[in-house]
Amino acid sequence: MKTDTLHYIASKFKIQRDIESIESLGEGFINDTYVIKTEGDGPDYIIQKKNKAIFPDVPAMMENIRKVTDHIRKRVSDAGGDVMREVMTIVPTLDGDLYFKDEDGDFWAVSVFIPDTIAYDRADNPGLARKGGQGIGKFQAMLSDFKEPLAETIKGFHNIRHRFEQWDSCLAKDAAQRKAGLEKEIEWIESRRSMMLDFWKLVEDGTIPVSVTHNDTKINNILFDTNGEVLCAIDLDTVMRSTALNDFGDAIRSYTNTGAEDDTDLEKVEMSLPMFEAYTDGYLSERAESLTQPEIDRLAFSALYITYEQVLRFLMDYIDGDTYYKIKTPEHNLQRTHAQYKLLCSMERQYEEMKDIVSRTADKYLVR
Ligand code: GN1
Ligand code: MG
């Protein structure tokens, strides 16, 4: 993206002070993100081009984010917290809109950059995992009394029934002619299909309740301060109503992985039980009292569910010809598929221990 264009777009927003520089930031797989540095000691900003191929209704998504951040801001302020650090602040355009639509039909949004923070790509100690679990627990707790309607920003995001519809049509189309040679990987998906649907049926029939959830709780979507405390959740594009279990499961997928999400060295990829225990402890210290027994009973399974879903999504994107996730190499989505599958197998092997940890930890925090 040309610097001039970025400056032109930034000039449409209510940014205090002159812009010093705009530089690309981070590793997001979906949107394009930049930091706007400003002159003097005013705030810096984050500017993002939202991926319109993935989010069909960016205005509705921005309205979701506004409602949710307004709600959290009130809760942070009531608790005497720092509203400039413990919640994202959206910066409107000069016309007061939550986004700017450019000549190409792309949508841009700006938020205040929160300084002195760390976004980790992996958890290297259980203390960090525990804090992360507490952080998402608090996020869910702050939104537990949120009653306003929220748009579904991506249809059926963690709904495996919907994902199987996409999967079946992906296989039928075989758009990039890659299906041949992927028999083994396809079988990984098919052999677990009914088990995953059984879980989702419990959400569909109301056994597992829905609430406002983040839906993309991988570790680098949580900002920590320099003392190692969780400040806030970022990347709120997928905040919607779903099962709270998904936030737990997706976090476990990243906090407990001893390797990288796309590791080429599969030996490095395992689910770390100490990290699982620490994250579970942090999460349940905030949420044990609010979860129902059917939720507690499926907490461990949610990690398998979301990791499986991620295997499916990476493999599906590979078969589709890499239309969804940004890739760094031609085989990147297949590499991600293999690494996430290794993680899934590691979870499956340790599933009984995971369930024991959840039940022990829930007992510790439940006053019965
Ligand atoms: C995407 O945008 P980012 O990088 O935080 C994706 C998640 C996946 C994740 C895999 C909207 O998250 O669902 O779990 O990549 N977000 C969307 O790393 O699809
Ligand atoms: Mg992100």
Minimum CA distance residue for ligand 1 atom 12: 29
Q: Same domain for 92 and 134?
A: no
- Calpha distance 271→219 (Å, rounded): 15
In ligand 1, the atom with minimum distance to the C-alpha of 306 is 14
Rounded mean pLDDT, 317-324: 98
Query: In this structure, are 98 and 227 located in the same domain?
Result: no
- Categorize the per-residue pLDDT at 367 as very low, low, confident or very high, splitting at 50, 70 and 90: confident
What is the DSSP code (8-state) at residue 43?
-
> Which residue range forms the structural domain that includes residue 297?
126-365
One domain for residues 223 and 248: yes
pLDDT in tens, 80-89: 999 999 999 9
Residues 193 and 93 both lie in one domain? no
Confidence class of residue 41 from pLDDT cuts 50, 70 and 90? Answer: confident
* Ligand 1 pocket: which of 25, 27, 30, 336 to mutate (most atoms within 8 A of CB): 30
Residue 178 has pLDDT above 80, yes or no: yes
Is 332 in the same domain as 355?
yes
CATH number at residue 45: 3.30.200.20
Mean pLDDT, rounded, for 67-73: 98
Position 24 in a domain: yes
pLDDT at 297 over 90: yes
Q: Last residue of some domain: 89, 115, 141?
A: 115
pTM value? 0.97
Cα 60 to Cα 150, 161, 237: the distances in Å are 8, 24, 10
Q: Are residues 348 and 217 in the same domain?
A: yes
Does 247 lie in the same domain as 168? yes
Q: Token pair for residue 183? A: 């028999």
Mean pLDDT of 294-313: 98
pLDDT of residue 368: 61
Q: To the nearest whole number, what is the mean pLDDT of the chain? A: 96
**End residue of a domain, out of 115, 139, 167:** 115
In whole angstroms, give the CA distance from residue 134 to residue 365. Answer: 13
Q: Do 60 and 140 have their domain in common?
A: no
Is the minimum distance from the CB of 317 to ligand 1 under 6 angstroms? no
CB 342 near ligand 1, within 6 Å: no
Q: Are 147 and 106 part of one and the same domain? A: no
Does residue 235 sit within a domain?
Answer: yes
Ligand nearest to the CA of 250: 1
The whole-angstrom separation of Cα 151 and Cα 149 is 7
Cα(368)–Cα(352) distance, integer angstroms? 24
120 or 368, higher pLDDT = 120
Residue 121 lies in a domain: no
Kindly report, residue by residue over 49-60, the tens digit of the pLDDT: 999 999 999 999
157: Cβ below 6 Å to ligand 1? no
Ligand 1 pocket test, pick from 64, 152, 218, 254 with the greatest ligand atom count within 8 Å of Cβ, gives: 218
Are 190 and 53 in the same domain? Answer: no
Is pLDDT larger for residue 2 or for residue 334?
Answer: 334
Q: What are the angstrom distances between the C-alpha of 226 and each of 230, 248, 282?
A: 9, 24, 19
pLDDT tens column, 193-236: 999 999 999 999 999 999 999 999 999 999 999 999 999 999 99
**Contact by Cβ (8 Å): 83, 18:** no
The answer on 317 and 170 residing in a single domain is yes
CATH number at residue 255: 3.90.1200.10
**303 plus 208 within the same structural domain:** yes
How many angstroms is it from 126 CA to the middle of ligand 2?
22
Count of domains observed in the chain: 2
Pocket-testing residue among 25, 27, 29, ligand 1, by greatest number of atoms within 8 A of Cβ: 29
Confidence (pLDDT) at 223: 96
Identify the nearest ligand to the CA of 216 by its number: 1
Residue 120 covered by a domain: no
Nearest CA to ligand 1 atom 15: 29
Domain assignment of residue 132, yes or no: yes
Find out whether the beta carbon of 262 lies less than 6 Å from any atom of ligand 1. no
